[in-house]
Amino acid sequence: MKAIVIEGGERLVGEVRVSGAKNAALPALAATLLVNDICRFTNVPHLRDVETFRALLENLGARLQWRGKGEMEVDTSNIKGVTAPYELVKTMRASILILGPLLARMGEAVVSLPGGCAIGARPVDLHLKGLEQLGAQIVLEHGYIKAKAPKLKGAQIYLDIPTVTGTENLMMAAVMAKGTTVIENAACEPEVEELAQILVKMGADIEGAGTKILTIRGVEKLRPVVYSIMPDRIEAGTLMVAVGITRGNVLIKGCRLEHLEAVVGKLREAGLEISPLEEKGVRVVGDHGIRSADIKTLPYPGFPTDMQAQFMALMTLANGISVISETIFENRFMHVSELSRMGADIRVQGSTAIVNGVARLSGAPVMATDLRASASLVLAGLAAEGRTVVSRAYHLERGYEDLEGKLASLGAKVRKVDLDEGADKLG
Ligand code: EPZ
């Protein structure tokens, strides 16, 4: 069992480059099912979830090859299968993203229901309802979604919730449907917009990318693409918090501030100095102390739920009280009890956490429960006095490309160890 060991108290200084976005890479890989050829992506992050998606696609008959750092070649000219098995889907909910494109290409798909996860029940009812409106016949049987659609046809779809992967699934199902599809109350996240751009580059006819209303006119066929994946805005935000919590001074390269306005606004309110330096990157300075700030997670362009746990770690050391409201997922406070073990003063009432800043945190053995919670614990460990050991580090590996290496390059005393080799490994 891998763990991250951090000796806290080091100020982060230097420069670091953000990797490609997990939540843009996964839908991009799914979209390759829509073409019968070879696509090439660059700036693909080497993550556990990307490897899981690769296994999903190879199980269908695709061939995926890493061609050098960050470059992935995807050959979908020989797709035979239509099934995404439970063994793979249960480890990564984003597997649901193959449902739409597989249905569009093969006329049928058998995808395991993802089931819940640590942060919530995470149903996919809106994905299925939209696909039925596009003409799919869907049966739920033995834990699987069994969908058939000899020919998808355009429809007027209103999403009760602006679901990110739901919007992405329906967009991919609609691009070769017969007629026009309008998706209202669509998700506007930059990763959704990027998928629309990839589909358009493949030859799809999509209007309104990045807005709440998508108009998709079905086309006959799509062509392969070469595309560079956008930088990961959540990793960029996580690194900004790392600078703030250690009172550091770091140049973060490759991030696009226009995708992080809500996060940057709140970090500035919390006392961080964040200055864009044109193409060089963004200078982040955290040595002005940490002020408390309230946040409420909302769909884009609101404050992203994927940054809530990281922001909370910063607020545990703020001077004052901050109120953190989580409106997207029903159980995304799993990091609270672990932060409390480190001396944080946090009270949870329903979907709100009240954080009373303390003067210091103390290192402790803690357990990661989900991807962003594990990032939050690492951030707290950077500032805590003494040693923090974050177990179940595989959560972190799912969505961050060598985060511990990036932090170490900035001066943090952080390393990954294998706890099974005995605690003496901790040194
Ligand atoms: C995407 O998940 C991201 N994952 C999540 O990132 C992110 O937290 C989330 O969007 C919100 O921004 C990927 O892009 C791979 P939703 P997704 O559907 O699409 C409810 C991370 O840390 N809902 O937008 O699954 C749902 O329960 C991950 O990188 C339904 O009720 O999220 C939730 O409360 C975690 N029915 C809300 O909508 C549905 O059919 C938003 O979920 C679909 C969703």
Measured from CB, residues less than 6 Å from any atom of ligand 1 are: 22-23, 26, 93-94, 120, 122-127, 161, 163-166, 187, 305-306, 328-329, 371-372, 399
Between the CA of 307 and the centroid of ligand 1 the distance, in Å, is: 13
Q: DSSP readout, 357-422?
A: --S--B--EEE--SHHHHHHHHHHHHHSBSEEEEE-THHHHHH-SSHHHHHHHTT-EEEEEEGGG-
Whole-number Cα distances in Å, 38 to 73, 104, 173, 220: 7, 18, 20, 18
Within 8 A by CB and 6+ apart from 389, the residues are 3, 4, 5, 6, 364, 365, 366, 419, 426
CA 203 to chain centre: 26
Between the CA of 386 and the centroid of ligand 1 the distance, in Å, is: 36
Predicted pLDDT of residue 427: 61
Residue of 39, 117, 188, 255 with catalytic role: 117
Rounded to 5 degrees, φ, ψ at 379 are -60, -45
CB atoms within 10 A of CB 37: 14
Predicted pLDDT of residue 422: 54
Bridge partners (DSSP) listed for residue 251:
15, 283
CB atoms within 10 A of CB 90: 15
Between the CA of 122 and the centroid of ligand 1 the distance, in Å, is: 7
Nearest CA to ligand 1 atom 39: 124
Q: pLDDT tens track of the chain, all 427 residues?
A: 899 999 999 999 999 999 999 999 999 999 999 999 999 999 999 999 999 999 999 999 999 999 999 999 999 999 999 999 999 999 899 999 999 999 999 999 999 998 777 788 789 999 999 999 999 999 999 999 999 999 999 999 999 999 999 999 999 999 999 999 999 999 999 999 999 999 999 999 999 999 999 999 999 999 999 999 999 999 999 999 999 999 999 999 999 999 999 999 999 999 999 999 878 899 999 988 999 999 999 999 999 999 999 999 999 999 999 999 999 999 999 999 999 999 999 999 999 999 999 999 999 999 999 999 999 999 999 999 999 999 999 999 999 999 999 999 999 999 999 987 655 556 6
**Separation of alpha carbons 108 and 59, rounded Å:** 15
Q: What is the pTM of this model?
A: 0.97
Exposed/middle/buried for residue 63 (C-beta within 10 Å: 0-12, 13-18, 19+): middle
Predicted pLDDT of residue 288: 85
Nearest CA to ligand 1 atom 13: 23
Q: Is the peptide bond before 365 cis (omega within 30 degrees of 0)?
A: no
Within 8 A by CB and 6+ apart from 167, the residues are 159, 183, 186, 187, 192, 214
CB atoms within 10 A of CB 211: 12
Q: Which helix (H) or strand (E) holds 338?
A: helix 334-341
Between the CA of 328 and the centroid of ligand 1 the distance, in Å, is: 8
**Separation of alpha carbons 248 and 94, rounded Å:** 34
**Separation of alpha carbons 84 and 56, rounded Å:** 6
Whole-number Cα distances in Å, 133 to 35, 136, 174, 178, 369: 23, 7, 11, 13, 36
Nearest partner of 2 among 394, 338, 366, 375, judged by Cα: 394
Residue 39 appears among annotated catalytic residues: no
Nearest partner of 247 among 7, 58, 5, 8, judged by Cα: 8
Q: Which atom of ligand 1 is nearest to the CA of 300?
A: 12
CB atoms within 10 A of CB 306: 25
Rounded to 5 degrees, φ, ψ at 276 are -70, 135
Q: Which two tokens stand for residue 359?
A: 């003067």
User: Do 107 and 180 meet the contact criterion of CB atoms below 8 Å apart?
Assistant: no
